[in-house]
Amino acid sequence: MTTRVRTKQGVLVGARRKTQNGFEYDDFLNIPYAKPPVGALRFKSPQPPEPWLGERDATVYNESNLCIQYDIFKQKNRGSEDCLYVNVSTPKVPAAGLLALLPVMVFIHGGGFVFGNGLAKFENGPDYLIEHNVIVVTMNYRLSAYGFLSLDIPEASGNMGLKDQVMALKWVQENIEHFGGNKNDVTIFGISAGAASVEFLMISPLARGLFHKAILQSGSALNPWALDSPENIRNHTLKLAQELHYQGPLDDYQAIHNHLMNVPAEYIKLAANKATNPAQVKGVYFGLGPTIEKDFGNGEAFLTENPYELLQSGRFAKVPVMRGFTDSEGFIEAGTKPQDVKEVTTFKNYIDFWRYPLNANDVAYYNERLRQVYDSYTGDDIERPAIDFFGEFDFVSGVIASSKLLVKHGVPLYLYEFTYDGSLNLLKALNGVNKTGAAHGDDTAYTIQIEPVPMLTQDDVIVRDRISKLWTNFAKTANPTPNTSPLLPLLWPPYSSSEQFYMVIDKEVSIGTKYADDRMQIFEEILNKYHR
């Protein structure tokens, strides 16, 4: 069965679908939210979409419209440069305005800014959330070199992938009412790089007023992998050009840009990985990503100041926030760079993994303090202190430091730790980790349906249903537990500078306070001193 919607750009024909529980919804796939960033638009800021004549088939997605990438998990090349599309799933397209407008949840995928997508239906299922009567939007954005190289010129200024996200949110503002959505009740949510994106959107003037609540799962703009220096991004771009046989002056950015504009897309993808060489960089690192860009006065700059300083001074969108992390974020390091875990376990030189130099006295002082707090572990897993360090260094410390800055400026915030180890903990399995705990990103498949769905235990179903209820409660009311129920037996207290409450999400829920405070204090001291 098909259904139709008239958007600002033209008529879409979508499909009527059912969740496993029999809940019916209207599904519209592969909707362009910007002009294809191809030809003369490569590396440029996104441009508004063009209208089409007649009806556009939105019943299927096109694999070639994923953003060009090497998919690390699927171990294959996917997509093309023509990739700026969204999917929209709605419980019911409004008939003659008779339905009340519904809250909207816009999902931003993870993947380290180098892979991932929001288009493939079987990887971005809205099923768990949509059953709670919300509209779910998923998006693509440009990745790696296509989305994040920079030559400090207007034609290749950097952060194009983040500007794509802004354009997608503008499309939502202009069109979501046609699908039954309330443009004044938009929640953005993301995992890992998607969560860091959410925080970047909170601090960017370009995104102001485009959303009203934010959910961040295992990511922050303050994480060391989330933001690279302008110098590093530019140097990577120069190396990229050299990999692609550019032989002119390295200070002639216009000539480099002209050269890159004529290189086939597939070659750029391969050269970007060689230029950044993420496998040889210590710690969690993916490649070309967000940076602080130059402001050319054309109204297109996404981020021109240090994220820490923007958060510290209160210059960000003060919307309600729900955010969290998993209890074993460091499994990502154990799975992808076991040599780093071995190095820390053997030598305990924690400061070696900082992305910027600390002064000599700080190196010795903070390394000794880190040794003291991580050496206090008394369990049987000799790798556990290193895994905890990487999880807290790369993810948790940034989440908590950012949370303290947000609440200082009056933002209502709910913090969680996801500790459940169940059948939908897909990231741990993909990383090949055989340890107890929830890995980085392991709460993803409890919010977004990823196929094939494994056989679920009763506990898996309860945790999945609990999370989808918490997430949609927050999207509807800015409070994950406006009341209690058998599924949500506890009221979730907001995070504050004094109590620092957080909800532990496992087979049962409980309330903790001041997560790993002795360790967090060390990371925060360094962050406060160096502002990164």
Note the pLDDT tens digit of each residue in 69-78. 999 888 899 9
User: Are residue 73 and residue 136 in the same domain, yes or no?
Assistant: yes
User: Are residue 106 and residue 222 in the same domain, yes or no?
Assistant: yes
**Could you say which of 282, 309, 336 is where a domain stops?**
309
User: Which residue shows structure tokens 């009341």?
Assistant: 483
Structural tokens at position 360 = 């000599």
Number of domains in the chain: 2
Let me know if residue 386 belongs to a domain: yes
User: Are residue 111 and residue 44 in the same domain, yes or no?
Assistant: yes
User: Are residue 97 and residue 164 in the same domain, yes or no?
Assistant: yes
DSSP β-bridge partners for residue 181: 102
CATH label of the domain that carries residue 507: 3.40.50.1820
User: Are residue 298 and residue 356 in the same domain, yes or no?
Assistant: no
Residues with a known catalytic role:
192, 329, 440
- Calpha distance 67→85 (Å, rounded): 9
What is the number of other CB atoms lying within 10 angstroms of the CB of residue 191?
A: 29
Q: Which residues contact 96 (CB under 8 A, 6 or more apart)?
A: none
Let me know if residue 288 belongs to a domain: no
Q: Which residues contact 351 (CB under 8 A, 6 or more apart)?
A: 358, 362, 363, 366, 367, 370
- Report whether pLDDT(503) > 60: yes
User: Are residue 22 and residue 147 in the same domain, yes or no?
Assistant: yes
User: Are residue 391 and residue 500 in the same domain, yes or no?
Assistant: yes
| Confidence category of residue 235, pLDDT binned at 50, 70, 90 | very high
User: Are residue 338 and residue 391 in the same domain, yes or no?
Assistant: yes
CB 172 within 8 A of CB 279: no
- Cα dist from 2 to 61, 89, 137, 180, 262, whole Å: 15, 13, 19, 16, 41
Q: What is the average per-residue pLDDT within 453-476?
A: 98
DSSP β-bridge partners for residue 25: 17
- What sign results for the dihedral spanned by CA atoms 104, 122, 139, 416? positive
When computed from its CA atoms, the radius of gyration of the chain, rounded to whole angstroms, is: 22
Q: What is the average per-residue pLDDT within 235-247?
A: 98
CB 225 within 8 A of CB 114: no
Q: What is the average per-residue pLDDT within 12-35?
A: 97
Centroid of chain to Cα 320: 17
User: Are residue 299 and residue 332 in the same domain, yes or no?
Assistant: no
Let me know if residue 281 belongs to a domain: no
Let me know if residue 263 belongs to a domain: no
User: Are residue 298 and residue 399 in the same domain, yes or no?
Assistant: no
CB 164 within 8 A of CB 142: yes
Is residue 512 within a helix (H) or strand (E), and if so which, with residue range? Answer: strand 509-513
Let me know if residue 405 belongs to a domain: yes
Let me know if residue 280 belongs to a domain: no
**Could you say which of 284, 309, 334 is where a domain stops?**
309
Instruction: Write down the number of H helices and E strands in the chain.
Output: 16, 15
Helices in 244-357 by DSSP H: which ranges? 253-261, 265-276, 307-312, 331-336, 338-347
Please tell me the predicted confidence (pLDDT) of residue 93. Answer: 83
User: Are residue 381 and residue 305 in the same domain, yes or no?
Assistant: no
- Report whether pLDDT(97) > 60: no
User: Which residue shows structure tokens 């609540």?
Assistant: 213
- Calpha distance 57→193 (Å, rounded): 30
| Confidence category of residue 360, pLDDT binned at 50, 70, 90 | very high
Longest dimension (CA), the chain: 69
Please tell me the predicted confidence (pLDDT) of residue 496. Answer: 97
pLDDT digits 0-9 by tens, 141-168: 999 999 999 999 999 999 999 999 999 9
3-state secondary structure 97-133: CCCCCEEEEEEECCCCCCCCCCCCHHHCECHHHHCCC
- Report whether pLDDT(99) > 80: no
CB 34 within 8 A of CB 44: no
Q: In this prediction, what percent of the chain has a pLDDT beyond 70?
A: 99
CA angle 347, 349, 354 (to 5 degrees): 145
pLDDT digits 0-9 by tens, 285-329: 999 999 999 999 999 999 999 999 999 999 999 999 999 999 999
Beta strands 69-71; 76-78: pairing state: antiparallel
Structural tokens at position 500 = 């620092």
Let me know if residue 285 belongs to a domain: no
Task: Give residue 327's domain range.
Answer: 320-531
- Report whether pLDDT(96) > 80: no
- Cα dist from 76 to 71, 141, 315, whole Å: 5, 19, 41
- Calpha distance 90→93 (Å, rounded): 7
- Report whether pLDDT(98) > 70: no
Q: What is the average per-residue pLDDT within 357-375?
A: 96
- Calpha distance 23→165 (Å, rounded): 29
Record the pTM: 0.98
Tell me which DSSP letter residue 283 carries: S
Beta strands 321-326; 413-418: pairing state: parallel
- What sign results for the dihedral spanned by CA atoms 106, 109, 114, 116? negative
Let me know if residue 239 belongs to a domain: no
**Could you say which of 243, 275, 309 is where a domain stops?**
309
- Calpha distance 43→261 (Å, rounded): 9
CB 3 within 8 A of CB 46: no
- Calpha distance 205→358 (Å, rounded): 31
Structural tokens at position 439 = 């890995």
Please tell me the predicted confidence (pLDDT) of residue 340. Answer: 97
User: Are residue 207 and residue 64 in the same domain, yes or no?
Assistant: yes
Q: What is the average per-residue pLDDT within 390-400?
A: 98
CA angle 523, 525, 529 (to 5 degrees): 120
Residue-averaged pLDDT of the chain: 96
pLDDT digits 0-9 by tens, 174-197: 999 999 999 999 999 999 999 999
